[in-house]
Structure 1
Amino acid sequence: MTVFADTLFAAMAAHGDAPAIERQGATLTHGDLLRRSETRALELKGEGVGAFRPCPVLVDNSPVDLIELLAVYRADGVAVPIHRATPRARIEELVARLVPDPMLHGASTIVFTSGTTGAPKAAVLSAERQAAKLQMIRRETGWQDGRRTLLALQLTFSFGQWVTWLTLLSGGTLVFPEKLSVDAVAAVLARRDVDRLPAVPTLLRGLLDRPETAALPGWAGAVMAGGEVLPAGLGAKIRGAWPGVGIGDIYGLTETGTCDFFVDPPEYDAASGSLGRPGGDIETRIAEDGELQIRSPYGMVGYLRDPQRTAEAFDDDGYFRTGDLAQLRDDGRVTLVGRAKDLINRGGMKVAPLEVEAVLAAHPDVAGALVAGVPDPQSGEAVIAVITAAPGREPVPERVLAWAGERLERYKLPSRLKVVEALPTGATGKGDRGAVGRLFIEPV
């Protein structure tokens, strides 16, 4: 086995009778999970899975998915998680790209990035680096052993993967909701018997909007936000609704091995709205054009069978080009301005969606906001936005815009604002700006 598989299977053996998976009252111990994974690994070897061969695994966030992924690692294969809801034609297209390649020697996982344009890139993760990154995250977060993690993340998502493996590595329990939905996650969280909730901010907004989780005064767990920016306003709402909770935040990319910056719960109030501090061995810088760049010993090997995009992803010094625009705050912490590709050019003036979203979401009647640019014959691009209502409130677009106009330059104000029931999200649960324009199209 690779060092990554060795680490996971040794941990499961050591934690034996401790619960590893819980779902709707049913429990599997670490020993159960180990034995079932080893049995399935023997079957996979009989089917031809071998050393560093890519093996697609269809997942939909159920315990059997973990058994299948672990079995691939135990059989020395390279696990490639693909969501079951992916259209068949796209699955066939992705699988066709999974052929043996020298880049896969020493690899453990291939993660297809969730780009909004072009074919997804297949990021190849090294087994040695993946194992080392888990230990790094464990140190940086003070991840405690034997705790219960509410798994409210996609297993196709790097965030969901490392949370899963680190929980097993530390002898903890993965608590699965009935399905990956706000209502199902809220039903589990309302019991207040989990220790950690790693989640994307979009899900956290939804939980604050549910009656059973709008207030959790008796819960003393930890929220770990990631996958997208946690706005300071949303963090403040979590602090008010769940007063006993510690709030942490992480930032990283699949290509850099995830988790490059950390906002520690004790420092949350001072660091909110920023990326916090870089983790150990992580080097960062802001380029002249404002792009955040990261050099990490835990990063990907490259994009499978795509040397051109692999080369373009790094500069001559080995820094990964994140595509995120960043600034240094007065306290020395880094804050994101937005994605370079998301910047809106309104008559020559640049508008960062993140800035506008933060202002809109700070309105007392608003739970969340998503901003995008759409073609406009007069200005080149127009700024549009959708918002969701805070619990018990009914935001009036004209009043929200007037309020925002006191806090933003005029050219940054949305020309159209619409209240929607839920912000559009992509496959990993993050906000999908590309879908905002479609919400303004009236049905015929």
Structure 2
Amino acid sequence: MDEMHNLGFLLAAACRKFYSATAIDAVGSTLTYQELLEKANAVEHALKKHGCQQDEPVHVAVSNHPSDLAGFLGVWLAGGVVVPIHRMSPAEMAISIREKTGARLAVDLARCAEANGSPVIQVGEMPPRPRGELSSAALVIFTSGSTGTPKGVVVGHHAFSGKLRAIDAMIHFRRGQRTLQLLNITFSFGIWVSLLTLMGGGTIVLPEKFVPALLLEQLSNERIHRVGVVPTMLRAMLAVLSQGVGACPGFVPSCPALRQVLTGGEQLSEQLAAQVANLFPETDLVNIYGLTETLTCDFFQFPADRQANPHSLGLASSRVRYRVVGEVGQEAAPGEVGELQINSPFLMNGYLDEPALTESAFAGVWFKTGDLAALDGEGQIRLMGRSKELISRGGNKVTPMEVERAIKQFDAVNDCMVVGAPDEILGERIHVLIVPNSGCAIDADPLRAFLLTRLDRFKLPDYIYVGEGLPVGRTGKADRGALRNMITGGALVPLVGRS
């Protein structure tokens, strides 16, 4: 593989170029580019000592720790493939991903710092078998699938480095700029924002956690040039300000350094965009559309695009082609609703060990996004909703079937159905209707405690309802749409809600 398309080569070159500059600025500690590279070299050497093979998947524990990206770089320098896993993920989920990847090596630099030991942990005995889709791969990013089982999206070095260049041509990351990093780097949005900041010679500013009032204070009192957020974070920030000056005394409505607020992961409403633009009038709010499978960032809606056509996705990224296709595969006429499909040189290698799923995700060279869209008279794309059943809660994608499978393991549950319903703060919240076993009662607190051992916290139901049966449609099948209508129409009363 050409070194100029290898993320390890590109990031190590940036470390050498910006040697003494600050790469990571975290609470209570900083890392220079030199220190970042030294930590990565230690990971590389430890992996090679364990016999890490070319294109071998290696798990990397992440939680926005200052050294996490050194783990990425070390794996790439050793020729491995990064599989990011959050440190707080339930053990059952981590085991499931390890079974899928077959990984025998894991990197955890935070644990290494605490224990003063090796950054590499051996979690298996035998090297995983070679797979064609892992050839020259950079990452395997696990994301929810339509079957409820997380699927591993394999991202190639060549494609992702090309997409990073295309993104940078739109966003313009520059030397010395400071990016406030609130996004989890198990997700593609957080990964590309981090990599482009470092490759451009900037500094990643890491808060301990996302707290809306602290975010507002940082933006107004620190030199922050760029921040990446999901719309849920913007809504939470505005909610704090609506409580009055006492809720955020450190915020001054002037952020002269702030150039860009990047947002994506869920739809940005026109109302929310206007509120944020009024709050930061000198800052560009850039709304981004893309999927993990298309290596993110296929469309950019800049302020001028929003003013000209507020409902469109904006400008297509370089070399990205798109079309809208009707039910029988024909290209839709302007105004006709169909599925948005995307083609570019920057698509995934495929789903790990899922050849049938990979094949079904494409129509020839076109990736089927599963999103409904329509072309307007000017050829602009307007999203019309999701054809898939994924719930977008605070920018996190949640599959109903995955949540249902976990709930059905609870002893008192006979059957259940999960849907998403609109929410002003999170975009959507997760609702579940449970049919209990005969003679059993459903208690929300023990159920949630049980689910915490099987699901990430953001996948827990926000509202729990109990009924004698699931709603069915005309064909006799359980009907999610009918349940959603019952919830939004107030026909059901929840046991309890959660914040």
The separation in 1 between residues aligned to 2:56 and 2:273, in whole angstroms, is 43
**Structure 1 residues 191, 223: closer, same or farther in 2, change over 3 A?**
same
Match of 2:404 in 1: none
Corresponding residue number in structure 2 for 1:313? 361
Amino acid at match of 1:96: E
Give the match for residue 415 of structure 1.
489
Structure 1's 440 and 25: CA in aligned 2 closer, same or farther, altered over 3 A? same
Larger Rg: 2
Q: Which residue of 2 aligns with 1:218?
A: 254
* CA distance in structure 1 between the partners assigned to 2:186 and 2:430 by the alignment: 26
Relative distance call for 1:301 and 1:215 in structure 2 (3 A) is same
Q: Is this contact kept in 1: 2:375–2:382, CA < 8 A?
A: yes
Note if 1:22 corresponds to 2:9: no
What's the offset of the Cα at 1:40?
Answer: 2.1
Instruction: Give SS of 2:67's match.
Output: helix
SS in 1 for 2:353: coil
1:79 maps to which of 70, 79, 82 = 82
Residue pair 1:152, 1:185 contacting (<8 A) in 2 also: no
Unaligned runs of 5+ in 2: 102-127, 241-246, 328-337, 392-418, 434-469
Secondary structure, aligned partner of 1:341: coil
Post-superposition offset of 1:102: 2.4
| 2:83–2:139 contact (8 Å) kept in structure 1 | yes
Q: Distance in 2 between matches of 1:8 and 1:138?
A: 15
C-alpha separation between the residues in 2 aligned to 1:264 and 1:208? 21
Partner of 1:273: 311
Name the aligned partner's letter for residue 54 of structure 2.
A
Q: Note if contact 2:324-2:340 (Cα within 8 Å) is conserved in structure 1.
A: yes
Q: Is residue 101 from structure 1 mapped to residue 159 from structure 2 by the alignment? A: no
CA distance in 1, matches of 2:494, 2:304: 41
Contact 2:217 2:251 in 1 (8 A): no
CA contact (8 A) 2:23 2:31 kept: yes
- Give the whole-Å Cα distance in 2 for the aligned partners of 1:19 and 1:279: 30
SS at structure 2 position matched to 1:103: helix
Return the alpha-carbon distance in structure 1 between the equivalents of residues 10 and 22 of structure 2.
18
Q: Name 2:238's counterpart in structure 1.
A: 208
Q: Distance in 2 between the 1:132 and 1:334 partners?
A: 23
Is 123-132 or 205-214 further displaced after alignment?
205-214
* 1:357-402 per-position Cα deviation (integer Å, ceiling 9, x unaligned): 5xx85xxxxx5653788754689556788xxxxxxxxxxxxxxxxx
Q: Is the 8 A contact 1:82 1:156 kept in 2?
A: yes
8 Å Cα contact 1:371/1:384 also seen in 2 = no
The 2-side partners of 1:116 and 1:84 are apart by: 25
Whole-angstrom distance in 2 between the partners of 1:43 and 1:184: 38
**Per-residue CA distance 1:272-301 (angstroms, 9 max, x = gap):** 332111111111001113110001101111
Map of 2:321 onto structure 1: 283
- Aligned residue pairs total 381
Deviations 1:54-81 (A, max 9, x none): 0011111111211111111111110000
The root-mean-square deviation of aligned C-alpha atoms, in Å, is 3.0
Q: Secondary structure of 2:348's partner?
A: coil
d(CA) in 1 for partners of 2:293 and 2:152? 10
Report what 2:428 is aligned to. Answer: 370
CA distance in 2, matches of 1:412, 1:264: 37
Task: Say if 2:94 is the partner of 1:91.
Answer: yes
The equivalent position to 1:178 in structure 2, one of 177, 202, 208, is: 208
Alignment counterpart, residue 127 of structure 1, candidates 146, 157, 181: 157
Partner of 1:70: 73
SS at match of 1:63: coil
Give TM-score scaled by structure 1 length: 0.78
- Cα distance in 2, alignment partners of residues 441 and 271 from structure 1: 42
C-alpha distance after superposition, 1:161-199 (max 9, x if no partner) = 000100000000000011245455445334242110111
Q: Which piece of structure 1 moves more, 244-253 or 331-340? A: 331-340
Alignment partner, residue 425 of structure 1:
none
Deviation, 1:93, is 1.4
Question: Is residue 327 from structure 1 mapped to residue 374 from structure 2 by the alignment?
Answer: yes
Say if 1:109 and 1:378 are closer, same or farther in 2 by CA, change over 3 A. Answer: closer
SS at match of 1:209: helix
Q: Which residue matches 1:434?
A: none
1:193: which partner in 2?
223
Alpha-carbon distance between aligned partners in 2 of 1:41 and 1:225, rounded to the nearest angstrom: 34
CA contact (8 A) 2:146 2:389 kept: no
Matched with 1:432 is: none
Contact 1:251 1:258 in 2 (8 A): yes
1:12 aligns with 2:15: yes
Whether the 8 Å CA contact 2:471–2:483 is kept in 1: the answer is no
Deviation readout 1:2-37 (Å, 9 max, x if unpaired): 722111111111111111100124221112211221
Q: Distance in 2 between matches of 1:262 and 1:139?
A: 11
- Measured in 2, the distance between the counterparts of 1:284 and 1:62 equals 37
- The one-letter amino acid paired with 1:414 is T
Question: Is residue 59 from structure 1 mapped to residue 133 from structure 2 by the alignment?
Answer: no
1:302 aligns with 2:360: no
Using the aligned pairs only, state the percent identity. Answer: 35
Question: In the alignment, what sits opposite 1:440?
Answer: 494
Q: 1:381 to 1:116 in 2, by over 3 A?
A: closer
Query: Contact conserved, 1:372 with 1:384, CA < 8 A, in 2?
Result: no
TM-score by length of 2: 0.70
Whether the aligned pair in 2 keeps the contact of 1:186 and 1:213 (CA below 8 Å) is no
- Distance of 1:295 and 1:15 partners within structure 2: 35
Task: Tell me the amino acid that sits aligned with residue 280 of structure 2.
Answer: W
In 2, the alpha carbon distance for the partners of 1:94 and 1:413 equals 34
Q: Is the 8 A contact 2:47 2:78 kept in 1?
A: yes
Q: Deviations over 1:328-370 (max 9, x none)?
A: 23553212111102499xxxxxxxx99x95xx85xxxxx5653
| Structure 2: distance between partners of 1:313 and 1:54 | 23
Distance change (3 Å), C-alpha of 1:108 and 1:369:
closer
Other structure's SS at 2:388 match: helix
Aligned to 1:252: 290
Do residues 31 (structure 1) and 34 (structure 2) align? Answer: yes
In structure 2, give the amino acid aligned to 1:321: K
Flag the 1:11–1:213 CA change in 2: closer, same or farther, 3 A: farther
Q: CA deviation at 1:146?
A: 2.4
1:338 matched to 2:367: no
Counterpart CA distance in 2 for 1:368 and 1:257 is: 24
